[in-house]
Structure 1
Amino acid sequence: MTRWVCIVGTDGSGKTTLSARLVEQLRESGVDVRHEWLGAESYLMAPLRKVLKLVWGRRRRLTTGSGGSRTNVAGDTSGAPGYRGEIARKNAVVKRYPWAIQGYIFLVLLDYRLQLRRKLHRARDTDLVVADRYVFDVAVNLGLTLGWDPAFLVRFLQQQMTRVRLPDVRVFLRVEPEVSLARKDDIPDADYLGLRLAYYDAVAAAFGFEVRDGTRPIEETSSWLLQLTQLELAKPHVHYVHSNNHDVGGADKVLVRMAEHMGSRAAERPGGFRVSVSLRLATDVVELHEAAGTPVLLRGFERPQLSAGLPGLIRFGLAGPHTFLYFRRLFALQQPDLVHVNDVYDFLPALAARRAGIPVVYHLRMFQGRPRVRTSLAWLIAWSSQASVAVSDAVRQHYFPRPVRGHRAEMVHDLGDVDLMADQGNVLLVGPRPDGVPDGGRLVTMVGRVEELKGQAVFLDAVEALKPSVRECGTFVLVGGSVPGKEAYFDEILRRARVLGVTMLGFRRDVPAFLRASDVSVHCSTEPDSFPGVVVESLLAGTALVGARVGGVPEMVSELGQGVLVSPGDADVLAAAIADLIEAVPTPRSRFAAAARARGLALVDPAPIDEQTRALYTAVLAARGRSAQ
C-alpha cells in the first residue's frame, strides 16, 4: 500500500526544497520513496485557456481608457493593474457566462485527474510518495478564477476528496507574501500571493494540515517533517461514517468530539490515530468538524429510514446498491485501517468495509422497539462488524443480552458538552435568561426535537394539570425544532402551548445557556432513550432534573440526590414532581445542583471514555494484524 505525504504552500514557501530534502532523508533510512510534482499542467485545457485569454484581454480593452484608466462603474476592480485586476477580469467573465462554469470545472478536473493517474501509475510500486502540490492547489486556482470565497472552496474540496486520495500526512508551509517576494523574482506581485494565502489558510484548517512557519531554517524544518512523517504513518487510519440528517442532533456533535479526541491533532501521544469522516449532508456539523481539523468527505449516500414509510424503503432499495458500491470504491481509495459507523442503520458502509477486509466498529445509540427488526439488526451488526459500542448498558443489553462469538459488545458513554464541562461558575445560582424567555417565576424548561416520542404532549398535559397558583409561580418553555414528516405534531404542540401560556422557541443553538438559566429541566420521553444528551447537559448545568425512568436514564441518575425520576407518559406524576420543585422553599438548585454536576462530570469524563475507545480500536486492529503505535 502506497502512503502519501503532501506539502502545499504559496510560491516561495520552500515546499519543493523541503520535499526533496525529505525524500533524501527517507531514502537514507531505507524507505522506498518517490518525489512527485502533483500540480496541474494544461493539456486538455490548453486550447480553452488560449480562448479565455483572448476574451479576458478583450474585456480589459473594453473597460479601460486609452491611458489605461478605468472607465467602468466605481467599485469594480477589473481594470486595476497587476494580479488583482487580472483575477477581477476573470471573475467578471465568469459572471457574464454562468452557464459555462460547470463545463469549465469538469474540464479542469478531467485534465488534472488524467495527469494524476499517469503520475501515480509510475509510483504504484513505491512505499511512499512525497507530493509537491496536489488537488488542493488546483482547487485554489479554480477558486480564484471563479470568485469563490474560502468557505465555498473548502466545501468543493470536501466533495472532491471522495474521488481522490486524502494524503496520509498533510503539511502547509506558511509564509507571508513579502517573504516569498524576497525569495523569488518570478512572482507577479504581492496580490498573487495574498489572494492565495486566504484559501490555503482555510483548506489547512479544515483538512487537518500541520502548519509550519516557512521562514524557519530548512534543516530544522526537515528534521521536524521527518519526525512528523514517521509518527503519522505509524498511526492507523480510522474513518468514521455517519448518514447525518438535516437536523443536527447529539449523535452529530458527539462524533465531532470523538473524532477530534481520537485524532492525532488532539494530542501528540502514542496511541493516536489518523481520522477522517464521511457525511452525506452539508449541515452545520460540517463546520464543527472543520473547526476541529477533521477532514470531511461529502457525498449524498442513502440510508434506510423506517419513518419515511414505504416510499422511503423503495427509494433505499433503488439507491442502496449505489451506496454500497460508492463505499467499496471509497475504501479502496482511502485505505482506512478501521471503519467506525456512527448509526445503527449505517450497515451498507459496514458491509462494504467487511467486503474489503477492513475491521468495523458499530456505534449503538438507539433502541429499536420492533422485536423482529431488533433481532435482525443485532444479527447484521454482529455479522458485519468486529465490535460495537453502546452508549449505555441498557442499549448494550437491548441488542446483545448474551455474548456473541467473534463480536465485542461494549458500553462507552458519549462525550459531554465542552463548554458546560469547563464552566467554573457557581451551579447553585441560576444564570441569565436567554433571549425570548419571559421574566418571572422559576424557569421550567423542556429541550428536545418536537416529535411524539420526546413527550412534549406529556409535558403540556402536566402543565395543564398544575394548580393555577402553581402555574403562576413558574415560567414554562419548550425548546426544539420540528422533525421532517412530523409537522402536524409540531403544529398541535404549538397550538396547545399558546393556549397554556407556554413559550415555544423552536430550534436554538444556545441550549447550554437555557439549562444554566433553568431552575428545572424536564425530560419526559415516552419511549426508551439511550443516553439522552439533555439529561447529561442538565446534570452538568446543575439544574434540577425531572427525567423519565426509561432506557438509559436510570443509569445516568443513579441516586436520589442527583434528580427526580418519574414513570414515562404519566402526566399527573410529572405535574406533582414539577409542583414540588416550584413550590419548595429551598431552591431546586440548592437541592440537586452539586450532586447533579458531580454525576454529570463523572458520566462524561473524557479520560476514561477516550481510553476505552482507544483500547477497543487497538484490540480490533491487533486481531487483524494492525496495531496502534
Structure 2
Amino acid sequence: MSPEAAIPGTLPSDTEPGNAAEESIRRTFGGGGPTILQVIPTLVTGGAERGCVDIAAAIQRAGGRALVVSAGGPMARELERSGARHITMPVDSKNPLTLRRNARRLAALIREERVELIHARSRAPAWSCHWAAEETRIPFVTTFHAPYNFKGRWKKLYNSVMAKGDRVIAVSAFVAEHVAANYGVGPDRLRLIHRGVDVQYLSPEYVSQSRIAKLVADWRLPEDCRFILLPGRLTRWKGQGVLIEAMAKLGRTDVVALLAGDDQGRADYRRELEQKVQALGLEGRVRVVGHCADMPAAYMLAEAVVSASTEPEAFGRVIAEAQAMGRPVIVSDLGAVKETVKDGETGLVVPPGDPDSLAQAIAAVLDLDPSQRQTVGLDGMAHVRQHFTKDRMCRDTLAVYAELLGKR
C-alpha cells in the first residue's frame, strides 16, 4: 500500500493539495486564532507526546493559542518554550471517579480559557474530553496512535471513545483500516495523517564527525567494527531478543549490534537480554547502550537500522527517522511497514520473529557497495521528505481543526 492510500472512500487529510489546506488554516488561525486544547496522559517520551508538542508549536506559529493538559513530564519545558501553555491534571489515571472529576475540570478550563476545540490523544483522558466537549458543545477530535486491540467486549467499549470524535485521526492507513473495520468510523469523520519527523534535525549534513566520535567514546565501542542499530524502548515486543539471535547466526566478529533505548523500569527484561548475549557468546558483539540523547549521530554511526518488532507498529517512527538520515532499514513485515518502507529500495522487509531471515538481511545490507548504499540512502531520504515530514503532519492536523471550526 502506498503512503497516500487510505481505506476505500476515506478522504485522508494528507492528500489534500497543500495550498488549499494552508489557505483554510490562514482563514481560521490568522488574526487572533482559536484556542486549541490537547490532552495527553503525560509528557515523558514517545510518538504521541512528540506529536502533541509539535502540533502545539504549529498552533502558536499559525496565530492560534495552544493549551496542553497532562500529568506532566520533561517535555512540558519544550512545550512551553514554543509559547504554548501546560496545565497539570491527573489525566493519566484510569480510575472512573477521576475520569469524571477530570471531565468537570476540563469543562471549567474550556469555559475559562474560551477553548474552541479539544483534541484527545489517549483513551483514558479521551473519556473526560468527550464528556467535557458534550457539556461545553465544542468540537472533539481524537487520534488513534495505535490499533488498540481488544479481546473482549469491555476492552472494546473502553477503546470506543477514540471513535467518538467529530474527526478521528489515524496515524497510518494500517490504523485507519482497523478503525473503520472495528468501530464503524466512516469517511465523513476518518482522516489519515501520518506521523511526521523533523527532516531539518534529522539530516546527515548537520551531524559532525565529532558527534559520532563522542558516541563511540561514550559507549566504549571498538573503532574497527561496523554497527547495526536497533532503537526503541526495551520491551519484549520490540524484538531485541530476535536481533540477538540473528547476530549469533550472522557469525561475524566485525559487526556489533547496538540496542539503544531506555528500559523504563524493565530491569528484569534488560538482565534477560544481557544473559542471552552471554549465553550465545556474543559479549562485545551485542551492546545494550541504554538511552541515547543524540539519535541523529547514532543513526549516522550505523550501517543499518533494524526494527525487529514482533507485534504491529502503528507507524514506526524510528524507521522513518533512519530513512531521513539516509540509512538502509530492515523491518518486520507487520503493521504500517508497507507504507513506511519501500522493500528492496529503501530497505528490506523480513518475516517477524525470524532470526535466520533477519541475519540474511543484515548480511545483504553489509554487502552493499558504496554506490548501492548511496542509492538506498537517497531513495529513503526522498521517501520520507515526500510523505512523512513534521511540517506536513502539522499542516494536515491544523487543516482538520480548521475544517471543524469553519463549520461553527
TM-score band, normalised by shorter chain: 0.7 to 0.9
Asked whether the 8 Å contact 2:33–2:65 carries over to 1, the reply is yes
The Cα of 1:432 is off from its aligned counterpart by 4.4
* C-alpha distance after superposition, 1:100-148 (max 9, x if no partner): xxxxxxxxxxxxxxxxxxxxxxxxxxxxxxxxxxxxxxxxxxxxxxxxx
* C-alpha distance after superposition, 1:198-231 (max 9, x if no partner): xxxxxxxxxxxxxxxxxxxxxxxxxxxxxxxxx8
Q: Is residue 2:32 matched to residue 1:241?
A: no
* 1:436 corresponds to: 219
* Counterpart pick for 1:277 among 49, 68, 75: 68
* 1:113 corresponds to: none
* 1:594 corresponds to: 378
Distance 1:366 1:296 in 2: 24
Asked whether the 8 Å contact 1:548–1:565 carries over to 2, the reply is yes
Asked whether the 8 Å contact 1:375–1:399 carries over to 2, the reply is no
* Counterpart pick for 1:478 among 241, 246, 259: 259
Change (3 A) 1:578 1:559: closer
The Cα of 1:581 is off from its aligned counterpart by 2.0
* Counterpart pick for 1:349 among 128, 131, 137: 128
* 2:173 corresponds to: 393
Give the secondary-structure state (helix, strand or coil) at the position aligned to 1:424.
Answer: helix
* Counterpart pick for 2:50 among 231, 241, 253: 253
The Cα of 1:457 is off from its aligned counterpart by 1.1
Asked whether the 8 Å contact 1:344–1:365 carries over to 2, the reply is no
* C-alpha distance after superposition, 1:161-220 (max 9, x if no partner): xxxxxxxxxxxxxxxxxxxxxxxxxxxxxxxxxxxxxxxxxxxxxxxxxxxxxxxxxxxx
* 1:28 corresponds to: none
Distance 1:240 1:346 in 2: 10
Q: Is residue 2:298 matched to residue 1:519?
A: no
The Cα of 1:262 is off from its aligned counterpart by 2.3
* C-alpha distance after superposition, 1:3-25 (max 9, x if no partner): xxxxxxxxxxxxxxxxxxxxxxx
> TM-score, normalised to structure 1's length?
0.54
Asked whether the 8 Å contact 1:396–1:411 carries over to 2, the reply is yes
Amino acid at match of 1:276: L
Asked whether the 8 Å contact 1:238–1:338 carries over to 2, the reply is yes
* 2:240 corresponds to: 456
Amino acid at match of 2:364: D
The Cα of 1:382 is off from its aligned counterpart by 3.0
* C-alpha distance after superposition, 1:51-80 (max 9, x if no partner): xxxxxxxxxxxxxxxxxxxxxxxxxxxxxx
* Counterpart pick for 1:492 among 265, 272, 275: 272
- Any gaps of 5 or more consecutive residues in structure 2? 1-28
Distance 2:363 2:75 in 1: 38
Give the secondary-structure state (helix, strand or coil) at the position aligned to 1:460.
Answer: helix
The Cα of 1:546 is off from its aligned counterpart by 0.4
Amino acid at match of 1:560: G
Distance 2:340 2:373 in 1: 18
Change (3 A) 1:236 1:551: same
* 2:119 corresponds to: 340
* C-alpha distance after superposition, 1:274-332 (max 9, x if no partner): 21111212x2211211222211112233333xxxxxxxxxxx23533332332232223
Distance 2:360 2:54 in 1: 38
The Cα of 1:539 is off from its aligned counterpart by 0.4
Q: Is residue 2:73 matched to residue 1:292?
A: no
Structure 1: 4+ residue segments shifted above 6 A: none
Distance 1:551 1:444 in 2: 22
Asked whether the 8 Å contact 2:141–2:166 carries over to 1, the reply is yes
What are the residue-to-residue correspondences of 1:308-457 with 2, within 5 Å? 316-351=95-130, 352-372=132-152, 375-376=156-157, 379-383=160-164, 385-401=165-181, 404=185, 408-424=189-205, 432=213, 434=215, 435-438=218-221, 439-457=223-241
The Cα of 1:463 is off from its aligned counterpart by 1.1
* Counterpart pick for 1:582 among 346, 349, 366: 366
Give the secondary-structure state (helix, strand or coil) at the position aligned to 2:168.
Answer: strand
Amino acid at match of 1:408: R
Amino acid at match of 1:258: I
Distance 2:109 2:206 in 1: 46
The Cα of 1:474 is off from its aligned counterpart by 0.8
What are the residue-to-residue correspondences of 1:125-144 with 2, within 5 Å? none
Distance 2:204 2:241 in 1: 32
Asked whether the 8 Å contact 1:254–1:416 carries over to 2, the reply is no
* 1:210 corresponds to: none
* 2:15 corresponds to: none
Distance 1:585 1:273 in 2: 50
When structure 1 is superposed on structure 2, of 584-593 and 349-358 the one drifting more is: 584-593
Distance 1:276 1:609 in 2: 19
* 2:312 corresponds to: 528
Change (3 A) 1:457 1:588: farther
Give the secondary-structure state (helix, strand or coil) at the position aligned to 1:565.
Answer: strand
Distance 1:525 1:404 in 2: 28
The Cα of 1:614 is off from its aligned counterpart by 2.3
Change (3 A) 1:521 1:588: farther
Task: Let me know the Cα RMSD of the aligned residues.
Answer: 2.7
Q: Percent identity?
A: 23
The Cα of 1:243 is off from its aligned counterpart by 0.6
Change (3 A) 1:570 1:374: farther
When structure 1 is superposed on structure 2, of 352-361 and 446-455 the one drifting more is: 352-361
The Cα of 1:391 is off from its aligned counterpart by 0.9
* 2:22 corresponds to: none
Distance 1:369 1:379 in 2: 11
Distance 1:322 1:609 in 2: 32
Asked whether the 8 Å contact 1:241–1:339 carries over to 2, the reply is yes
Asked whether the 8 Å contact 1:332–1:356 carries over to 2, the reply is yes
Structure with more contact order per residue of length (Cα contacts < 8 Å, sep ≥ 6): 2
Distance 1:571 1:436 in 2: 25
Amino acid at match of 2:120: V
When structure 1 is superposed on structure 2, of 579-588 and 433-442 the one drifting more is: 579-588
Asked whether the 8 Å contact 2:142–2:163 carries over to 1, the reply is no
* C-alpha distance after superposition, 1:313-360 (max 9, x if no partner): xxx235333323322322232221001112244323322222321211
When structure 1 is superposed on structure 2, of 290-299 and 539-548 the one drifting more is: 290-299
Distance 1:587 1:322 in 2: 60
Asked whether the 8 Å contact 2:42–2:49 carries over to 1, the reply is yes
> TM-score, normalised to structure 2's length?
0.82
- Structure with greater Cα Rg: 1
The Cα of 1:472 is off from its aligned counterpart by 1.0
Distance 2:134 2:329 in 1: 42
Change (3 A) 1:285 1:602: same
Give the secondary-structure state (helix, strand or coil) at the position aligned to 2:205.
Answer: coil
* 1:262 corresponds to: 59
Distance 2:186 2:369 in 1: 56
Asked whether the 8 Å contact 1:382–1:407 carries over to 2, the reply is no
Distance 2:79 2:114 in 1: 21
The Cα of 1:520 is off from its aligned counterpart by 0.8
